[in-house]
């Protein structure tokens, strides 16, 4: 059974989206800890330096320094990080991205909502997906 005190690492370069998505997870009873980074390289650095890995990762795709897909590809090379459920989210509705994400073994590809209140659905979708596993 999945814990209701999950920790999540979110990689997001947009300040507004970062604020909104953090609030959405902190307001969801299934998530108790949210860590934020601004790009894929910061995500990898956080994971390498952390003694306690997050229960789940949500990453944007298009970010500076290192994009989300490249960061997840690097995670797949590290046995310690391979088991962390990962999700992509992006404004891009791109079938090529979706196929790439599936090939990387991610748990899901979510489209960033256009309405602020719809961001609250993201933690629900993620919790539902990891509860199925």
Is 1 a member of any domain?
no
Is 33 a member of any domain?
yes
Q: What is the pLDDT of residue 1?
A: 44
Is 83 a member of any domain?
yes
Reported pTM: 0.93
Is 78 a member of any domain?
yes
Mean pLDDT score of the chain, rounded to an integer? 93
pLDDT tens digits for range 52-108: 999 999 999 999 999 999 999 999 999 999 999 999 998 878 788 788 888 888 999
Is 47 a member of any domain?
yes
What is the number of structural domains in the chain?
1
Task: Select from 42, 34, 41, 45 the least CA-distant residue to 8.
Answer: 34
Q: Please name every residue paired with 34 in a beta bridge, in sequence order, or none if there are none.
A: 8
Host domain of residue 105: 6-132
How many CA atoms does the CB half-sphere of 26 hold within 13 Å? 9
The Cα 115–Cα 89 span in angstroms is 15
The domain that holds 107 is classified in CATH as 3.40.50.2300
Is 123 a member of any domain?
yes
């Amino acid at each position: 059974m999945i814990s209701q005190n999950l920790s999540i690492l979110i990689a997001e370069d947009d300040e507004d989206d970062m604020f909104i998505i953090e609030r959405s997870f902190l307001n969801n009873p299934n998530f108790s800890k949210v860590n934020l980074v601004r790009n894929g390289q910061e995500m990898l650095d956080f994971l390498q330096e952390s003694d306690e890995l997050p229960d789940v990762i949500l990453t944007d795709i298009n970010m500076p320094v290192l994009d989300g897909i490249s960061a997840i590809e690097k995670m797949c090379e590290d046995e310690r990080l391979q088991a962390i459920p990962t999700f992509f989210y992006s404004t891009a509705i791109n079938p090529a991205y979706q196929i790439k994400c599936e090939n990387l073994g991610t748990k899901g590809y979510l489209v960033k909502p256009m309405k602020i209140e719809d961001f609250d659905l993201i933690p629900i979708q993620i919790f539902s997906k990891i509860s199925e596993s």
